[in-house]
Amino acid sequence: MNTKRNIVAMLICFCVLFILLCVYLVYIVSVYGIRWFTTPYNSRISAQKTTVKAGDIRDRNGLVLVFSDDDGNRLYTDDRSVRRACSHVIGDNYGQVFGAETLYAHYLLGFDQSMPERIYQSAAGKREGSDIRLTIDARLNEYVYDMMDYYQGAVVVMNYKTGEVLSSVSQPTFDPKSMADYLSGEKELAESAMVNRVTMGRYTPGSVFKLITLTAALRYLPGIEERVFHCSGPLVFDRDSGRYLEGVQISREEEKLFVNENNGNERDTMPDEDADRGAEPPVREKYSLVRDYNGDYHGDITLCEALEVSCNTSFGILAMEVGADKLAQTAGGFGIGKDFLFDDLVVYPSSFSKADSDLNLAWSGVGQYKDTMTPLQMCMISSSIANEGVMMEPKMLRMVITNQNKISKSVEPEIYSKPFKTNEAELLREYMINAVENGTGRRAKIDGYTVGGKTGTAEISTGEGIQNHAWFTGFIYDEDHPLSICIILEGAGSGGSIAAPIAKKIFEKAIELGY
């Protein structure tokens, strides 16, 4: 009797496990299926290329970026500047860059066609895939590419109401027309030119991360809006333990000695092998400091003014008061550290590490320590602030057009998350607008429009000293021009002096183009 009961119990157990396995398989296929299918190593895609003439890739206005000749060879627009400006969005026919050629192969190579349609085309002796239109404007991409000049980095512009990516440019770039020559060695390719920095670049965010710290402060520190901070010099920490030494003050002369002795400062460990090396706070003898950019002293300031002037000491204090756990929770609510599984884009995860000391917590609160951020995610955060607290899923595929000239798929805005509570987004929007009107982002101001933004100057350890990445993220708060932007220029210097004026020009061009 016991034997029969054991057999029945084991059978039930195996059935339950089998059902759970089936459910899990359905789940991972639904979640990761598109990624697996679009990998350049998918042999079905390689085989399909030999039998199907791939469809055209066009920008949102119909400008042809990639097409196929009668022999099936992939050809690119004759405009070299457009090719280079759009290269990371387009990708290549060899699967070296994860762009539209790979991401949307399902449509371009006819995998989405019905069986009757496949049979009809095969009988006619000519199979063709669907054409696609991207959300980007090639003219805007070309303009952004010119604005970046010789700087390496990334720029992304979005419609914050729909999530459509209007421009996405990564520098250094490449010419997709010359990919065969790059692979054979006949042409030289710039180092990391095939990395799409918009979606794959993981950068130390510097002061743009203060938007996260500010959100946490508004959420967890009652009455913080009315508080007055006193910025009278750097925050001082015990070098060994990282403990905040509230009663210790450093004079301006001593602060200069700290800076002079730490120009070659290095981080012992890296957050990730393909991420920035965020510089450590300056150290001297038994102290470590968290100081303001250029050693500024701001005196008595409100919370709004602290964001306006990007006061490191005030935000270091805020981070310590909020605490590592709650700062991490707030960052996680914006998707930082999470794996994005978007239909239209592959985006590398940003990262946030909980600090283990007062020093690291304060340093993290100003966007240093081990914080990293992709430009696209930073743009999504700014977009959500402008969009009444709603973060939209980024979209890159505008429509799919069959070879019968019918639209089989068109972009549909989707909400990714709602990371804010109560009036947090409204307050951040107000503070960011103030930062452009009166603070570090004033060079992004546009006459006749309400612009909000946050600058960042991220300190990076290069092995030869400290260099500064220039950041700007922001938006135009306007029903007719719902635009958001994120700019990162590697080693360019101050975000306020370098990135903000470029943002202004790009916004003006986007408005001129009707966005």
pLDDT digits (tens, 9 = 90+) for 241-279: 989 988 878 777 776 666 665 554 443 444 455 677 777
Give the pLDDT score at 19: 74
181 and 187 in contact (C-beta within 8 Å)?
yes
Q: Which residue(s) pair with 169 in the sheet?
A: 155
87 and 173 in contact (C-beta within 8 Å)?
yes
Give the pLDDT score at 29: 47
Give the pLDDT score at 11: 74
Q: Helices 210-220 and 375-386: crossing angle, nearest 10°?
A: 40
Helical H runs in 91-196?
Answer: 100-103, 105-108, 115-124, 138-148, 179-184
Amino acid letter for position 170: S
CA 53 – CA 194 distance, rounded (Å)? 25
216 and 322 in contact (C-beta within 8 Å)?
yes
Complete edge-to-edge strand list for the sheet that includes strand 235-238? 235-238, 287-290, 283-284
77 and 83 in contact (C-beta within 8 Å)?
yes
Q: Helices 210-220 and 424-438: crossing angle, nearest 10°?
A: 130
User: Residue by residue, what is the 3-state secondary structure of 261-304?
Assistant: HCCCCCCCCCCCCCECCECCCCEECCEEEECCHHHCCCEEEEHH
Give the pLDDT score at 514: 96
Residue corresponding to tokens 């975000």: 495
What's the CA dihedral at 185, 186, 189, 191 to 10 degrees? 30
Give the pLDDT score at 162: 97
CA 458 – CA 468 distance, rounded (Å)? 5
Give the pLDDT score at 394: 96
Q: Which residues of the chain have pLDDT under 70?
A: 1, 8, 21-48, 115, 118-125, 255-274, 463-464
How many Cβ atoms from other residues are within 10 Å of residue 36's Cβ?
Answer: 11
Supply the pTM of this predicted model: 0.89
Give the pLDDT score at 39: 60
Q: Give the total residue count for the chain.
A: 515
Identify the CA nearest to 314 among candidates 439, 440, 214: 214
Residue 193 is given by DSSP the state T
Residue corresponding to tokens 């670049």: 201
Helical H runs in 334-367?
Answer: 358-365
Residue corresponding to tokens 């490449």: 174
Beta carbons within 8 Å of 114's beta carbon, 6+ residues apart = none
209 and 367 in contact (C-beta within 8 Å)?
yes
